[in-house]
Structure 1
Amino acid sequence: MTELTLSQLISGLAADGGPDLRGYKLTTLERRIRRRMSELNIGKYGDYLDFVRRTQHEPSALLNTVLINVTEFFRDPPAWEYLRTQMLPRLFQGLRPGDTFRVWTAGCATGEEAYSIALLLAERLGEDLNHFDLKIYGTDIDDDALAVARRGEYAAEKLRRVRPELRERFFMASGRGFRVNREVRRLLIFGRSNLVSNAPISHCQLVICRNVLIYFDTNAQKRILERLHYALDPGGILFLGKAESKLSESRLFGPVNSRWRIFQRLPSGDGVAAQDQPYSGAEARKQENDGANARMFQQHILEAMRAGVIALDANDIVLTHNDAALAQWGISAKIAGRRLQNTELVFRCPEMMARLESTRAGHHQSVAFQCAIKNNGSDDRLVAVVLRPVMAEDGQRLGTVIYCDDITDREKLQGMLEQFEATSEELQSANEELETTNEELQSTNEELETTNEELQSSNEELETTNEELQSLNEELENMNEELEQRTQELTEVNSRYTGTLESMPWPVVLADSGEKIQLWNTAAQQLFGIGATSVVGVSMDRLPLEAGARKALIRRYRSVMSRGRASVLPGLHLRNHGDLGQFDIHFTPVSRITGKTDGVLIMFGPPGGGRQFRRTATSTEHRNAGAANTRKPRR
């Protein structure tokens, strides 16, 4: 079997319901996927694709490996300060209480940047905060990260860039960290959305998309920029990340401050924006005038209904709705005249468009399902939805009516089940399908890792290595100090040892195992008439002795070396400055810790020195052995 390439693996993953990694930079993907394969001890792409197909939770594990949620409050503080002092006053210029102000944070990860802009807006508006229709949307594909964002709870170290006055005003202690208070949390709506393939949030004055674009290849960046352009109202502001040095589609945005990556929407572009403009025109106005009375009665009927109702034409453009629908979905009346896919409703209920499409493929049958709506600062709500196609007599599709009812309360749920008894089985089936596809939806992947953030991760690794090197250097410095101390101790011992030898009245000579002279005290110099510099390192057979005496001395030396026991050579005649004298020569072995004799201490004493001399010799033997046995310092 031919081995798969990386591109084939990515296509295979998407085709099998795994993470859809198409559009991301291949070099980054290769590193991240290889890392996951290494953890599993899998070497080939084909084997890994088989593993993903066999293992239920592997798509989620791969997603966690690919995604790196590197974010923080007020990341790049100077950029946020410019946004606060220069751009927000500009964006709020001309706005009055009751006006709408919408912000979209795309790729919000765990929510720090979404809360950052919320804090700035809450600070700016102060007591007028509740007088504006202010909404901040945070989208991401990582469900775990979105769960953190919805809680709004962060460790104390995460708040290091939050100004003290903001921390004191908008945070409260919670567990081992701090939680954003309810006043700010209610401003935010977090939801799962694919930046590449899902419809953008529209009619925004500010879009924050920091360090997201550089995850994608050039074509994907172009598509994303078109969506961001459409998301912004004319004159809206796009706030990018520090790592995004330039825009690949400059015709869509003009720079406001290139240093801090702040751009303004230009009135150009023909992509998403051109093909999804709100429905308006002469024909629509004429129909509205001609049917004014009929529409009035229709609206009264709609408002009298308990259930929410939204009517769409054949092109999925919102024709009308009642207030109950707006209240249940938490959306504004501005959806009228716009394509459904470009409204807040689709953001609130991501599966709406897929369900709507199924009514076209299902022989014009109604489709029922449930949708959970996340509410910051309050309990989640559950809305039951029925999509009913409207058909002409000739079978032509005229549009769709969306019926919705809040079934959070169990009694309402029971009433809804009775009201739609004919579709209860299908509703239950749809609910089960929704549950079983949750894990499949998790396999859809948006890469949040950027080259800059990878470099940041590598930098952290380098910092760790540097700390290890510093620790090792400290250990070496400690070892060096210990070495210097031991050297000093050895010098002191050697000094005492030399002083002891020099203070002795008897000649003392130390010969090593190679029969070479290593020590020669002053008394020996006086006896033989030769200084230490002339004899140290010289072989014993060159001592200035008569041949017979020299041979006797060397013979006894060798005997002591081989046996390792002290010995005395009595009555040896030696010449002292020309005079012939008699000496008792004492041989004392010098041993190391191992017990092996590696030298002999030779002392020339007066004949018949008796016990006193032997005690002195023995004491000298112990001192010399102690000096010789001194451990060498570690290197």
Structure 2
Amino acid sequence: MRNGRTCRFSPLSAGRLPRLEPSIPSPDDILTLEDNLFQTRPLEGGGRRPGIDTIDCFLESLALRTAPPPVAVILSGTGMDGTAGATFIRQAGGIVIVQDPLTALHDAMPNAVIQRRIHDHVLPAGAIGRQLLACADPAYERPTPPADWSNSTSTTLAHIVELIRRRAGFNLSGYKPSPLLWRIQQRMDMRKVWSLEDYASLLADDPVELEALARGISIHVTEFFRDADAWPVLRTNVLEPLVAQAGAGAERILRVWTPACATGEEAFSIAMLFDEIAREAAEPFDFQIFATDAAPELIASASLGQFNARSLAGVSTARRGRYFYQVDASFRVKRFLREKLVFAPQDLISDPPLSGLDLVTCRNLLIYLELETVWDVLFSLNTSLRMGGYLLLGRSEAYPLDEQGFEIVSRKWNIYRKVGPMRKEPHTTVRRVASDEERLAKLALRLAYEQFDVPSVLIDEDRSILRIYGDTKDVLRFAAGEPSLRITDLVPKQWEASLQHAIQRVFANQEPITLECMKLDAAENITMRVRLTPLQTSFGAACDRVLVSFVREQDAADVFEADGTLLMPGDLDIAESVDWKSKARVSREELEASREELQALNEELRASNEQLNRSNGDLNVANVALQENIEQLAMQSRVLSSGAVMTMFLDPDLRLRWFTPSMRDVFPLTSRDTGRNIADLVSKFPDAAFYTDIHAVLRASEPREAIIRDGHDHTFLRKIYPYVSDTETISGVAVTFVDISDHAARTL
């Protein structure tokens, strides 16, 4: 809608929601509701701020309605947008619905309304639609002032966080509730548990589910050279000055810490930069990078330095060749660079920090923490740095650290240099005050947890053991020679084929499997059951971990499935009687057949390559012709734009695609109007048949023209032509206006 155009509004009535005619207000306009009509007016001179006061302005106009009572819905968003408007709605007797901040991506807008107690309902997004229908019912009654709506959820969430801390060793108490609840809700959806209280009960009863949640609830978002523009700044303003300082004292080693390193991409990125500087430096220097994370299995994975091709998207070809080698369809960091990194488990919130560091990088972590915890972490990072050391927080972590013992190195990337201790003291409840006691309690709890009756191991997709629970010495044994952590190399030899097959099935089908009557000792006829349970470390992805549990026959009566049922022999169609030698022979025959098929496919591929080469030649010829056409079109466009021809082109959906500058004499067009529907644009003078003629041209493929007068002694010849593509279909219309005022005057 432009220049005061209106759109009718159907008010909220019983049993139905308002009906709005399609309309798109300009970004430069303010939208209001007046006399059941949407009205727009320019921002200029109205005392309103673009993009800031738009929501409040509309709600204020909505509050002027007398009947039915207005309803305002405040959803996820930053700042205080909508708070003033919601106040007007309540003062006018209207209803204010707020999205539950615990389910909002950005909770500032909902919290701003709730803190002022001007809301009637606090609901998750999925329940707001039903509440709108309830508000439209004439029998609707405003609820009594809400009590503390967050008590129940907060109490249950605190119980889950404490359960994770005691059982899995992760301290999540300083995290914002929203990201924790998002991940818990995703896990609840997977297990089809609809109540948070019921899910807390499931976690208390099911160690496998607790393991899955604990491994997936942490935020593991990292990549090589993330935010590419930040790395040249880091090299020029931080790393090179550090190297220059280290050169003065040749024996000093530069120390870098990357807490919450996840799978290690950022730590390896810093190591590559240091190595590149070392290759160019006049004097040698040494560096050491400490990469830590609270998740032990992430540390185990990161220390291998093995990544798939997709993970290396941000690594240049030169760096890939210098620092990686390819193996098993993946890429591994070369040993000389891996030796510069030390990986260790460490909880940034509850464990003591490192000390005497030259650089700490802590990006995209603080945004997930409560403000008090943020300042506690920043205090620790300041303590860990030597005087003159640097802190990199990244673009999304802006805090006034220039007043807290730091000076600004890069405001855009939030890089700081330590010039003194922080003035802000840590919060009194910070867990590090009792860090020794906490570590001792955590160790005791972990030992108790890992000594339960069913020994188990956690493995990854490479069959490598990440963690051992309980006593597995009767099952897992190291052979002579180079040690291996692959589970199939450690179990009894007679288990190898069946266990390998079962692991493949678990990863493929993402369903648990139980192997029955696995003979542990042929002489003593000791058998076990092996239970394989798929787990996830990241939500929305396939399972990438498997918990392998070894159940002795004498203990089987006390071992339950995740759903509470006993482990029974009928759980699996793989029994003791399976002839694995026959299966291996069949597999070899299938392999030979596959090789023959592969050879045939290779022949077809060679033929396809030859045909593709011929097609490439034809394509090159076509590209040359296309380039000539593009140059001709560019020349035609420049000619049209430089002249006085008034032309615009509309696609079949009547969206504006292109216009000449002189077209502004007829329509008040700007570059931002490209892509808008022509019905949303109002001409400077009346043309009653304009839209009718456009639709007629699209239907009949026949051009139309008309004489138009603007009321100021100007006369135009308006023509509308169909544009027919090579496929004989109409791809749009071209509209031209020609000023014929002089000719019309002579005719009269």
Normalised TM-score (structure 1): 0.42
Q: Larger Rg: 1 or 2? A: 1
Bigger RCO of structures 1 and 2 (CA < 8 A, at least 6 apart): 1
TM-score calculated relative to the size of structure 2? 0.36
